[in-house]
Structures are given as C-alpha cells and as structure tokens.
Structure 1
C-alpha cells in the first residue's frame, strides 16, 4: 500500500485544482431574503450565465450569499454530486466532503462524525457531538437521528471548524446543514427510482406547487431497502442492511406580502441489521477461555480472513427506530429588515439489540446479549433579526432556547460483562448571539460576532445490577461565551482574501454509562471543551468565472478535550469519558470547479490534515498492548498518547468527479460520469494495529441518457469499479478470546470489521423525473 501512497496523495492535491464543493443557484426575488429556506428543486444546479459561469450560494452566515464572498470554510453539496459519488445515506457524506470522516458502528449512537480530525468518541446519553447537524435550520437532538437516508435534499452545507458563535455549543468542530425541498410558486414533480444487482431498491418523490395565490405546499416520501452484504450462517439471512420509510410535508402561507408562515412535519420509520465479520483470529483462540469453544465450533462454516463476509449470530442484532418532528417558520419583513422565527419539536426512539458474543457457541457463553433503547425529545425556539445582505453594514442578531431530554434503559448478560441500568439526561439552554459585518473601507469588511449562553444539565442513574440497586441524581449550570473576529478583502471582482479568529465551546456533561457509581457522582460533571481557531483563505474565479479555486489554512487548539480515558477518584481508577488534555489540528483545504465547455465539468476537493494530541498522558491501552508497545503496566495499565496522531484523522483525503453530457439528438443528451475518492491510512483506535485501515481509492462510473431539459434521466452505474476492499470501522475484541482455558490466560487476536456499502463492486440503474 505504501508503494503508491505518495502518488495518490499528489493526485489528490492535483485533483483539488479541478474540483469543487458544489453548484447551487438561488432564485432572484424573495429567496435572497430567506436565510434558512432551501432552494427549490430546480435551484440546486449550476447557474449558467452566458455559457458556463459557476455560481454557488451558501447560508453559512444565516443568509443566502455567493460562496465566493463568504469568509468561512464551507462546502456546498448538491443532489447531483451525491448521486455521482454513490451517496444515498448520511453515513456516506465523507465521500464528498474530504474534511469529514464518518466511522460507523453496530449502533448509530456509537458511530462518530469528525471534522478536521475532531469528533466525539463517547457512548453515553447527554454527551453532545462536536459536529452539529441541522435540518432546515433546526438542530437534531443527537447525531444518531441523522443516520438514515437523504431523501428530499435540496443541498447540504458542511461548515468546517468551530461554529459555536452562530450555531451553538454542539458545533465546536463544525456543522452539517441539511436543507430540504421548499414550496414553489410553480408545480414541480421530482421522482427517483433505484435498483442494484445486490438487491437494493428504493424510490423517492416530491410534489411541490401552489394551492392558490397565497398557499403553497410540498409533500415528499421515500422508501429504501437493502438486505446487506454480510450473510448470517445461523439462519441464512443477509445482514448489515437497512430499511427506511420517511415522509415530509410543508405548507407555506403568504398571509401578506411581508408575512409568511411555513409549517412542516416529518415522520420516519426504519430498521437496521448488524453483522460484524471476524477478519482475524489467532489459531486455537477460545471464546472467554472456555474449553472446546474454538473458532470452528463457535463460527461454523466461516473462513476467517480479510475478505470474510459471513457472521454467526444466534440472537437478534440490529436497531429499530421511528421518529417525528414539526416546525413552524415565520418570516416577517419590516422595511428592509427581516424577522425570522423557528419553532420546532422532535421526538425519536431507537431500540438496539446486539448478539454480544457474536457467535453461535453452545451453552450460555454463546447467548450473551445486549439490549437497550434511546429515547429523545427536543423543543427549540429561535428568533433572528437580519439586515439586508447587500448593505455595507450588515447584521444578524438572535436569541435561542432549547430543552432536550434523553432516556436510556440498558441491559447486558447474562454470562459476562453484566450490566442493567436506566439513565435519564436533560439540558436547558438559553443563548443570545449576533454577528456584524461592516465594509468600513471599500472592499474591506470587518466581522465581529459573539454568543452568550447559559446551560443547565441534569441526570438520574439507576443501577439494577448491584446486590442492592442504587440510584443517583445531579445537576449543574454553566455560563459560556464565544466570539468570532474576521477581516475580508475583495481584491478584485473574482479574488477575495480573508482571515478569522474564532472560539468554540462544547458543554459540560455526565458520563452515564456502565460503571457509573458514587465516585462518578461525587466528581460532578465533565468540564466543557473549548477551542481557539485561526483561519486564512482565498476565494478565486478565473476564465469568465468558468473556474473556481478556493483554499483555506486552519490551525485549531482544543483544551479540556472530552474523550475516553482513565479517571482516578479516591484511589479507584475507571475507564470513562473525561477531560483528557488537548488536541491541535491544522492543515489545508482545497475546493475547485472547472466548466471547460457547456458539456464538460470537472470538480473535486482535497484536505491535508495534521491532527495531534498535544496532551493525553493517561489513555486506555488497546487490547494486547504490552510494555514494548508503550503500555505502562500499572493498575490500571495506561499509555501516553501525547504527540500521537489523533484517531480517525487521515493525513490526506480527496474526491473528484467528471461529467460529460454531449448532445445525441435535438432532444437527448448523453451522460457520462466518473468519480474518485481517496483516503490515506487511519487508526480507528490509537496505535492499535488491529484497528488500522490502510490507504485506499474508490472509483465509480455511470453512463446514461437524459432529456436535454433534464426532465428525465436514465443511468446505469457501477460503484467501486475496481472492487477495492476497505473497512468503515474495525473492532478489537481480543478481550473476549483467550489462548487456553487456564484461569487468567492471556487474551489473543480477534478482530471484527464493519463493512461499508461498497465493500464489493455493485451495479445498478437509476431513473429520475424532474418536471
């Protein structure tokens, strides 16, 4: 693998010169004053002024603006780009956003989303993510809510680096903004069907238009089903798949020319199946050191190797989830100012099931299970005051309120790793925020922004697994401020330079997981995580704006980093989420697009990342780590990760795509698309050789025909063209396997993998309508 890593890194950098974040064009008229509304279906395309000028809009600063004029590191992704890269689910967004890395898990709550190498690696409820997710301007209660299809997306924005000033405490590393189809003044129908040779099928549609002169609507629905790419030899069924049904409806009422109400509601229902194949196991390994429980007994008819796509689960493994939400958006124009109100309520439940031993071993050791549920509810209210985006003095002011609650029943056993508890967590947040942009000298704009907030958190924890069940409860309050300073210079019509300094904040929390007890309760909440970020960038366009090239340099320091570590309280040590020290992440991000002719567009992006723990002196050793590998043999054992590269932080990551649409007849165009994704090597667990993913490249190819007005399109596609295997996550389960049945025998190698959707090459057909 190392033999071609450098050429691929070079190619990634080169591709960035001909790549782009996205193409999106905003309607003239009222939409430029609609800071959270997503573009209508026809808007999420490249705007062509003359013959090929590229125009990209973003709402990163809570108003529609040309991305070339926005002094932020933001990438915009359209549905067309998602299709080209084979992205149909949230967990695959990292394929089109190089600074974003998504590590999946057996449970979406245990998955991790990181930007620039910074994410949240924790399993407890109430621990907020470092990367926030919003839908139509409204935040999700917790990240797992987003791990589903992307059915009615108008565009997605990925804001990199701390966004706490405008978007709050759950955006200390960045933000993913999902914007869905909005009501339109004209009737539109959009539909897509998909089927693959490995039995994935699905479809979605949206209908939007006017009911009368003052009332418009949107209704969308989607369904997808894929059995999976792993076979369970116990019952002969496919697993590692998913099934999802989702719907969304919106009504937009123009009560007067200056007052508009938009009410929306959504519902989703789905399930996933889990299959984590063993890809490595030491000869003679015994499950939990039990005599006779060798691999051929507990994993019958399975060849354990890196290409293994079989599991043996005799208990249910997967998730079942459902949720619904409502939102009322109010737009009021007062002269040149706009008042925007967003009121939302969301409820979500996910039940999770795991075959904890991952085997069909006879006897009790083969029937260890893990069951639980995540229940969340979220109410939010936001009010913004926005000035016109074209004035020399511009401002966005707002207040925000949120109340969120979680419940988590959890049980594991009955043979080993016993647990039985019930926890609740709640948070109430009040914040005021604002940002002022002032062009105090022609072409020179200063930015000042700030946010002040108060948060109260509370919890309860009942441990039923003790000889005498015991419970704990607690609460805490915290005040915090963040700010942003920036300077932007429009050197020419097509060249903009900027620099900024911003602070980030991630709130205090409690580690409500197995092992919680009096010592953790007495220790109080985990301290907030803070960050300081420096960014410098340039936004350029060339050749009559047929080509864009953007580059950003960033350098961010995180203090009181929240991560899994060893905590010692009153002489007793435990593994838990705590403040471990610091992390620095710095690098370069490139995006660019080139429209060479009306029929030929090449786009792509690349990120160079250097993410390092600046202070992490007491970290958990990985399974099988000995003194020679840096594990200090104390009680408990620990390793020092200071100056070690952060996990889930590839040095290079890039993507590029090409689209060629020549005219075949007066009414038909051909469609030829190719895409490429590259990621350099990463560790899913620090320094653990069993959790090391080498560098890889994935190529996709599609060809088809479309109506010259893009009213319909039929495409054949092949994803993972060269059948390259890689893993979306690796799990070291050596602690479940021993070298012999002798008491306290040493553990031995046992490694499982979470396979991505494109672990194997697959082909399919897409058909779309857009009227």
Structure 2
C-alpha cells in the first residue's frame, strides 16, 4: 500500500480507539504503586488528572512534554490485558509484534514492522531491551516472566543516538521496583483452570536513615496447551524462578549508591502441532512413514493441540547479573554511573523431525547451547530538567561474548559446529534541549562510536574439520534533530529527524564455510526517520489524545537472502538485502471519566514495504507461477512486498470501573480488547498467513478502598478465538508421490499462544 488514502471505514476504525492509551497511568494509581520509581511519586492537585512520567530522554519527565514516540505501560494495564510474560507485550503496545518460536533465540521482536530475522550468535536485534537502564546481552534473555515491574516504556523508531547500535528500530525499557523510604510489602498469587499457578512478592523499605532495600522473588509454572501423545504430558509450557535484590546507600545528601543483583532459572517445553498436511504425505520420502504412523493418534486440523515428540524438546536456562548505580549531585548537575555484569546460558533441545516415526528418520534431533556474558559501563552528566537550556552527556563502554555449540542429525540436515562471537564498543553521546524562544525548544543530539567484532567457527561435520576466524572494526555516528512547540499548557506539537545504526556482524550459522569467511562481515544497517506528533490533554487533564506520524527508510537491511559469491557459488545467508520503508500513524488516548471509571487504548496503522529485496529465498512449495524464478538456486523478488510480521492495523483498548460497594470495599470490573489485522510470518507464503483476529478479556472482583488488597476472577480469550503466534512451513520434511515423481507436500505447524483457548483464573494481591 502506498500513501495514506484512508477510507471512511479506516478512519472509523481509528476513531474507535479514542477510548484510551495504554501509556497512561492516573495519579491515583501512580501514588499507590509501591514499585513505581520514587521520582514519579509527586503530589498532584487533582487525583483524576492523568500524569505519566518517562525516562525516554535519560531523565524523568512528563510524557506529554517529551517529543518522542514513547508508550508507558503500568502493572495495572498489564494485568488488565492478561500480560504476565515478555512475549505477550505486543498485546498492550500496538506498534510492537513478537513472534515466538521453539527457541527464544529464534523468536523475533519487531517495532513498526522492523526486526531482526536471523538466528546467528552476535547478530544484534533491531529492538534493544534494557532492565533498569542496563542492556541485555541478547534478546532471548528477555523471554521470561515480568514479575517485578514498576513500569515498561516502549520507545518506537530509531533510538541509536541515546541508546546505541542495538536500538535501530526501537527500545523496550523495563523498570523494576526501587527501594522506598517507607516499609512496603506487595504480593500476588494466580491460579487458572488450565493448570497455571504462581506468585511473586517484593519487600522494600529502610534499614536505617541511610540504607534502604528491595527483595523480590517470583515463581510461575504452566504445563502448556499441547498434549504430547508419546508420553501423555502437556508441552508448550514453561517454569520460571527469579529473584532480585537491591541495596541503596545514601552516603551523603549528594551521593547515593544502589547495588542490585538478580538470578533466574527456568525451562520451557516445545510442542508445535501440525495443523495442515497433504493426505498421504510421507516423512523424508520414506515409504510407509505416513501421518498415521509418524503422528499416531493425531488428527491434523487447524484446531489440533496434539504433538508427537519422541525426543526431548525444550530449553533449560539460568542466568545472573549485578549492577552498581552511582548518583552524585554536583551543584545543580547530576552525575550518574551504571556498572553492570551479566551472565546467561540456555541449553536447547529440539525433536527436529517433530514426529514419532520409527527408525532414524524419526529420531533426528537438534541440540545446542547459547552462552553469553556482558560487561557495561555508562557515565552520564545531566543538567536540571527545568532549565531552559538542558543537556545530557555520556560515555558508554560494552564488552560482550557469545559461545554456541550446535549439533543436528543423525539422519538428515546434518550439522556439528562450535562458534564464538565477541564485540567491544566505545561510544560518546549527548543531547541538548534549548528553549531559545518561550515555549519553542530545539533539540540536537549525536553519538559517535567505535566497535570491534570478532569470531571463530569450527565445523566438525567434515572429514577434516575446518576452522575459521576473523575480525573487523567500524566507526559510526548517528544524530537527532528536533523542534517542539508548547502551543498551550495542554497542547504540544513536535517534529524530529533521526538516524539509526545497527552494527556489522558475521553470520555464524550452519553452512558457514570458506566462501562466507572470505565475504567478510555483513555491512551495518542504517536508517533515517522523520516523525511529527501532537500531544494534547483536555477536561482538566482528565483526558489525553496523542498522534504520531512516522516515515523511516532502512538501507543495507540485514536479512536472510541468497548471495552469489565471486567464485560463482551461492550462499543462503544473512546479508545486506537492500532497503525497507515503514510509515504510519500511531494513536494513543486515555480518559479518567470519573474517579471510578477510566478507559484507555491505542492503535497503529502501519505500511511497511521492502523497497529493495531483489534476491530472496523462495518459500516452500512456491512455483514459477507464484513468483519463484528458476535458477541455481531459485529465488523470488520481494521488492514492493509488504514486510513480514507487520499487520496493517493493530490496537488495544480497556476499561475499568471501580465503584464503591461499602465504606471499605470497591468493586473492580475490567474489560479489554486486542485487535490484529492479517499478516504473514514468511513473505508471501500462504502457509504462514495469519488472518485478522480479536481477543477479549474480562475480569471482576473486589478491592480494599485503599488498594491494600484485591481479589479478581478473570476470563481471557472470552469468545475462544483461535490464532497462532507463529506458523512454520515444514513441507521440506514431507513428500507425496505421483506419476511425475516425488514432490514436497503441505506440512504446516502452529506455535500456539498462551490464550489459544479460553481460560479462567483467580488473582489475589496485597499491597501494604
């Protein structure tokens, strides 16, 4: 789709979201959330007024005064939308789409249709994730529970100037509970009718007038919603234990140290049911290995929730990290230091054939591990946020290393290799905001960095094992220019131009050879972004309505493609494929209609298109008539095609009504709606097409008038709507025979979301 020739129907759809913004929190909620950052808890004159703070520009500010596309999500909004895990955040952030997979490393996070669709270690995500200001080594580390959240910020569009090279498409900032001056206990438990149970708690308060602390822990367990017919167990589930502790020391009125540590341990199970298969299809051309033999007791259809895994399938992971935060006030200036170390390991096990076929073809397995370590050091110098001339300056250092042993076999798709990857980054950044005319503020920011990357690769699946090694260095700069005008107390307009950068890398996956090594690193991916926005408030700031227009061009897009090398051979590898343009409109609104009734919601209209992608891999079963150009290898031209994982419309809305029942009790009624229009998980592939769907959640309960406790019954996916969080085309493993010979068959598997089926449960929480 080109341009913005919106029909009346489209405009009506957008108007339907004028009932809220998933970014908003009322002052009442903010003051009663013990986990909220202390800086946000400021008194307000009217507790119906909507006030939200953000740290998008590395300082606490009212979100309505920030000239960025940023959304703030509170724990209450996560509960209303049934979000308890990182992979479900797309339900409350319409510009965000998360595609899960059998392995978190193969999952993808995209903002505005832009993400990294590659599986190699050392390949950076286009969407960075930070926890308490510290980046995670790689995105898979984030795929777990959200047990100790104070708030989550989703920054859309290139954020490379302030947040570095892994934020070329955006950033997800997770803020956890901070030490408080008063003693607080917060705890929650949950149980569902389909076997999920868990709980979390946090205790925070003072030890003395100089020391404060936080300790939190959580545990969750869910067997899953897929039955493995081989052992009779539920799969597609997860189990997670996590803990976090913080100690805050006020060494003097102007010097504060906060030391924190975290530990996590968990596992997942994999089950990907076959939902479509050609009748009579056999596994890997093996006579007799039809579906009734390879998938015993399973009826293949779109509602299938059974899998047949005769080998282990899942992951087991653990990790820990520590951070020291130093805050020093020097006159009006603040110096902030962040020092962190993180270590993580995940072992992955896959039943590669996804069947229980007899013989070696039914015992093809995939086994590997991901090991990461990350050290970072950041120093920031911040001026007072109320001055007409404001600045944020900083230095950043990071050193990250990965290891990946991998083995697959013994019957087909053989692989056995060991790879390492590392990078060292040094950067300086800064941003200046100057109100040079009353109510008119100019912004200029820039970042300069140097990065060195290196790798080793040992292929042990050869008669004579082959090893490769390499390194590269790169300098890069990004910048941001902006102008904002505070037209009235409650109306702000802004425009900005920003550049983004994602660093060079090596494609360390199966098939790495001398040709790939000789080709050198994949070039950096760059972007140029234009944004215009309006931030408004009405009715005594009891309602907000924000609109953002964006138009971003990505050049040297890093994606999987076919590359013809100098010796005439071809590689299917991660490379630079050309370009992508993403543009659209983002709507956010919230209203506190009365003290007891509030509504919020948000929506994104997205047009993401490959502007240059001339040589892409054909999807399985694609014929010349469907655009697959015969060759060695065959290819298709995706130029002008809508980007994968980019629905045209995506939105969410919720309403809460909490009337007084008695002098001490309030009722709590919540309803939420999530809508996603159709999308492809693989470009043009009809087997990975997900149609449009809506999900409704409903809850009702009672709470103490002071919100000290709350009990709620809930039903998620109220109307039992089935959809898939990802679809996998496995036709390469199945064949049908005819007079013309053997050909690949339809064989499609679904990755089921948590709410694939309607489920109900109860939540109980206390907050003292």
Give the TM-score range, shorter chain: over 0.9
Alignment of 1:639-650 (within 5 A): 639-650=636-647
Determine if the alignment matches structure 1 residue 124 to structure 2 residue 120.
yes
| Residues 353-752 of structure 1 aligned to structure 2 (within 5 Å) | 353-569=349-565, 570-740=567-737, 745-752=742-749
Q: 1:230 and 1:409, CA in 2 relative to 1: closer, same or farther beyond 3 A? A: same
Change (3 A) 1:359 1:194: same
Check conservation: 1:739, 1:748, Cα contact below 8 A.
yes
Kept in 1: contact 2:27–2:47 (CA 8 A): no
Distance (Å, rounded) in 2 between the aligned partners of 1:464 and 1:322:
27
> 1:8 deviation in Å?
8.9
CA distance in 2, matches of 1:198, 1:495: 47
CA deviations over 1:49-75 (Å, ceiling 9, x no partner): 425110011000000000000000000
CA contact (8 A) 1:710 1:770 kept: yes
Which consecutive unaligned segments of at least 5 residues does structure 1 have? 32-36
SS of the aligned residue for 1:739 comes to strand
Change (3 A) 1:471 1:239: same
Corresponding residue number in structure 2 for 1:74: 70
**1:23 positional shift:** 3.2
Aligned partner of 1:23 in structure 2 is 24
Map 1:145-544 → 2, pairs under 5 A = 145-544=141-540
Residue deviations 1:311-333, cap 9 Å, x none? 00000000000000000000000
**Shift, 1:18, TM fit:** 1.6
Q: CA deviation at 1:17?
A: 1.4
Whole-angstrom distance in 2 between the partners of 1:46 and 1:52:
14
State the match for 1:34 in structure 2. Answer: none
**Residue aligning to 2:3:** none
Distance 2:253 2:450 in 1: 37
Structure 1 SS opposite 2:67: coil
Aligned residues: 759
Partner-residue secondary structure (3-state), 2:578: strand
- Worse-matched range after superposition: 13-22 or 710-719: 13-22
Partners of 1:46 and 1:388 lie apart in 2 by: 17
Aligned with residue 133 of structure 1, among 125, 129, 132 = 129
Distance 1:239 1:10 in 2: 42
Structure 2 unaligned spans of 5+: 1-5
Distance 1:414 1:743 in 2: 30
Structure 1 residue 13 displacement after superposition:
1.4
Cα distance in 2 between the residues matched to 1:44 and 1:304: 52
**Aligned match of 1:143:** 139
Specify whether residues 181 and 158 from structure 1 end up closer, same or farther in structure 2 by C-alpha distance, changes over 3 A only: same
Q: Give 2:56's match in structure 1, choosing from 51, 60, 72.
A: 60
| Deviation digits for residues 324-348 of structure 1 (CA, Å, limit 9, x no counterpart) | 0000000000000000000000000
For residues 62-105 of structure 1, what are the alpha-carbon distances to aligned partners after superposition, in whole Å with 9 as ceiling and x for unaligned?
Answer: 00000000000000000000000000000000000000000000
Taking structure 1 as reference, are residues 225 and 428 closer, same or farther at Cα in structure 2, changes over 3 Å only?
same
1:341-395 per-residue CA deviation (whole Å, 9 max, x = no partner) reads 0000000000000000000000110000000000000000000000000000000
CA contact (8 A) 1:183 1:252 kept: yes
Residue 770 of structure 1 pairs with residue 767 of structure 2: yes
1:139 and 1:742 mapped to 2: Cα distance?
A: 57
* TM-score, scaled relative to structure 1: 0.97
Residues 616, 641 of structure 1: 8 Å contact kept = yes
- What is the CA deviation profile of residues 107-164 of structure 1, one whole-angstrom value per residue up to 9, with x for unaligned ones? 0000000000000000000000000000000000000000000000000000000000
For 1:237 and 1:58, the matched residues in 2 are separated by 44
Q: 1:39 to 1:221 in 2, by over 3 A?
A: closer
Corresponding residue for 1:13?
Answer: 14
Q: Deviations over 1:12-40 (max 9, x none)?
A: 5123312113334799xxx9xxxxx9963
User: What is the CA deviation profile of residues 476-524 of structure 1, one whole-angstrom value per residue up to 9, with x for unaligned ones?
Assistant: 0000000000000000000000000000000000000000010010000
- Map 1:81-92 to 2 at 5 A: 81-92=77-88
Relative to structure 1, is the Cα distance of residues 672 and 26 closer, same or farther in structure 2, using a 3 angstrom cutoff?
closer
Whole-angstrom CA distance in 1 between matches of 2:430 and 2:693: 43
Q: How far is 1:9 from its partner?
A: 5.8
Alpha-carbon distance in structure 1 between the residues aligned to 2:350 and 2:739: 28
SS in 2 for 1:145: helix
